[in-house]
Structure 1
């Protein structure tokens, strides 16, 4: 994994301008509502996905960004840009390479269509009728460049994909940047646990994931998808039940922990981004999830970025992170007079900042 050491965001979502430097392996983004925490996670997600050069991954991430806070047609597309700005740019440094990511709200689309991209007549007609919003995305890494053309259904699609993405054939950079981008909706949605179970199975990491789950829930024994009604349904084997029980009947704390353990165990040399990491947890569950994240990240060489409003989770991450000698950061974000600002402290330096957070997040 190439550690991301700095991040610069301009005119993306609610952030007019922000620069973060000296990032660590575990980065905890905190602050009041509307401080820009989720925008930081989303900016990283969309740019890492773009660098990977996989249309499917970028499509998944962009769809999540557009719909996670609610899909409301053309306004959702406009919300990718700060106020009336026409260009959003995201830059990050990983290793010794600067990766640049640019999204344009408007541009000479016909030049792109006549040059790099060849679309069928029906698609061109629908663009002309305003059925699709078209956003060009450019990713650069050193002398290399890749261009995406994102067609977004500007209405309220009842069927089919929200996004269609075309791209030039060249890769941005000859490396892989494995990415997992999670929201509370993902973790509790139907089918997600089956997906992350398959990730861990393919990487031969189920044993590692199960050991993490057992640390929080000693009664847990096994997790397995079983055929049922022409599909696969996840079942949980626990000591107190006479037979395996459906995963979806378990409590939200267990479900979130299981999904997190499988995700972090299946991801090696990559990036785990989590929005609202404290969702669905009681205090005991928070500690288990924090330890799972820290241990999994350390074992698998994963860089983590997460947002939280929970002082309890912050305290646990600081306590357990210092025990594990984790290179961690607390990123405290504030919005003042339209500007977004951030202070960054190492876990060792965060005690004084923690007192400020207590007053701010509880205020």
Structure 2
């Protein structure tokens, strides 16, 4: 049984009643713009970490990771994960509320995630003390108050007790409530343990973050999967022998560390000199090695990879997913990417294409398994993306 055999997004962001059935090892999501492909990846990330508030925040802010100016507030970003039941002004005197629900099946114990938020208001009272001109020792207290908005967040998770080692006869239901305010400290976070499934997401631009690359490389060294990541990358470029974070002895800056690749042909060279394609493939390799036995999510699978390199890159990716027991979900707009994946997969369980078709009340999903996809593309030459 796969980690996820099926997933049903009842309500999440802008998608309604979207079902992905009979999932494969490699699941390709296609469809027109704004059909919900990226939202599916975000929903999967939260479903696999239902009680991890950090994952909720990270997912909510993910689309703004490159924007440093005019970012949406954290709480507003969280609210946009929810389809709203009604907003202030729709029903006089009632607060804004929103709900979401995702259900799934597979070896992952969590079977249902329900969440609800409600906008709340509180009174912030601050005391500012300033010295008066009438004497250095005398102080005047200036008390101000202002209305501050926050949200009450209620999470409810249903799990299969037969798949959880710590449950005996207890009901397999877990609930958690958070009261969230802007710039406020959140106390001890709940332990989620077996309610987490290891996941990681690759966005079209996440490989360009030096901080993220350093973090991944450091994690790879500390958790002993750097060798696996290099092995994966060598399948694309056999000349790569090592990756290190170094401070060049010729650097003018005393704190400017960079990632370097040890290459049989080029010697020690900065990662940046290898181009965007290798940087993204390294990013994918590190992410893939870090989620062994879990799920890898890739938005815009073909991004930065030259069309002539797609087949070799995907052959490496599919083989690595099998070796590391990783289930892959990826979005694409590229017909070349579809054909390249079809070429490097062999059986019906390897590749499943899901075409998302938004309707007024739901999202229709057209599923093509490997055999049907091969017929449509190689024999009939049909368009399968939309």
Please give the TM-score of this superposition, normalised by the length of structure 1. Answer: 0.79
Matched residue, 2:60: 62
Q: CA deviation at 1:208?
A: 2.8
> What is the Cα deviation at residue 176 of structure 1?
4.6
Q: 1:235 aligns with which of 252, 256, 260?
A: 260
Structure 1 segment 186-201 matched on structure 2, within 5 A: 186-201=206-221
Q: Does 1:297 align with 2:309?
A: no
Determine the structure 2 residue equivalent to 1:105.
117
Residue in 2 that maps onto 1:145: 174
- Name the CA distance, whole Å, in 2 between partners of 1:332 and 1:209: 31
State the match for 2:372 in structure 1: 349
1:26–1:328 contact (8 Å) kept in structure 2: yes
The answer (yes or no) to whether the contact 1:47–1:101 under 8 Å persists in 2 is yes
Structure 1 or 2, whichever has the larger Rg, is 2
Paired position in structure 2 for 1:129: 147
| Equivalent residues in 2 for 1:208-227, closer than 5 Å | 208-227=228-247
How far off its partner does 1:224 sit? 0.8
CA distance in 2, matches of 1:30, 1:180: 20
Contact 1:145 1:172 (C-alpha < 8 Å) held by counterparts: no
| Offset of residue 27 of structure 1 | 0.9
Q: Call closer, same or farther: CA 1:349–1:99 in 2, change over 3 Å.
A: same
1:35 is matched with: 35
Aligned Cα RMSD in Å?
Answer: 3.4
**Aligned-residue offset at 1:205:** 2.8
Mapped contact 1:49–1:61 kept (Cα < 8 A): no
Show the counterpart of 2:100: 88
Q: 1:204-353 to 2 correspondence within 5 Å?
A: 204-227=224-247, 229-230=254-255, 232-241=257-266, 243-322=267-346, 327-337=350-360, 339-353=362-376
> For residue 131 of structure 2, what is the aligned residue in structure 1?
none
Larger helix share, 1 or 2: 1
Q: What's the secondary structure of 1:306's corresponding residue?
A: strand
Secondary structure of the equivalent of 2:338?
Answer: helix
8 Å contact kept, 2:342–2:374: no
Deviation of the 1:342 alpha carbon? 0.4
Which is further off, 98-107 or 72-81? 72-81
Aligned counterparts of 1:357 and 1:309: Cα–Cα separation in 2: 17
Whether contact under 8 Å (1:140, 1:172) holds in the other structure is no
Contact 2:3–2:108, Cα closer than 8 Å, also in 1: no
Ranges in structure 1 where 5+ consecutive residues have no aligned partner: 114-119, 123-127, 154-160
Is the Cα–Cα contact under 8 Å of residues 178 and 267 in structure 1 kept in the other structure?
A: yes
Quote the offset at 1:360 in angstroms: 6.0
How far the C-alpha of 1:55 sits from its partner, in A, is: 4.0
Deviations 1:323-351 (A, max 9, x none): 7x753211111123453110222222223
Number of the residue aligned with 1:178: 198
Q: Report the Cα offset of residue 210 of structure 1.
A: 1.8
Q: State the distance in 1 between where 2:56 and 2:78 align.
A: 15
From the superposition, tell whether residues 211 and 32 of structure 1 become closer, same or farther in structure 2 (CA, over 3 Å).
same
Q: Is the 8 A contact 2:10 2:17 kept in 1?
A: yes
Distance in 2 (CA, whole Å) between partners of 1:360 and 1:204 is: 41
More moved, 291-300 vs 60-69: 60-69
Higher mean C-alpha deviation, range 225-234 or range 298-307: 225-234
Residues paired across the two proteins, number: 336
Q: Evaluate the alpha carbon distance shift between residue 357 and residue 101 of structure 1 in structure 2; reply closer, same or farther with a 3 A threshold.
A: farther
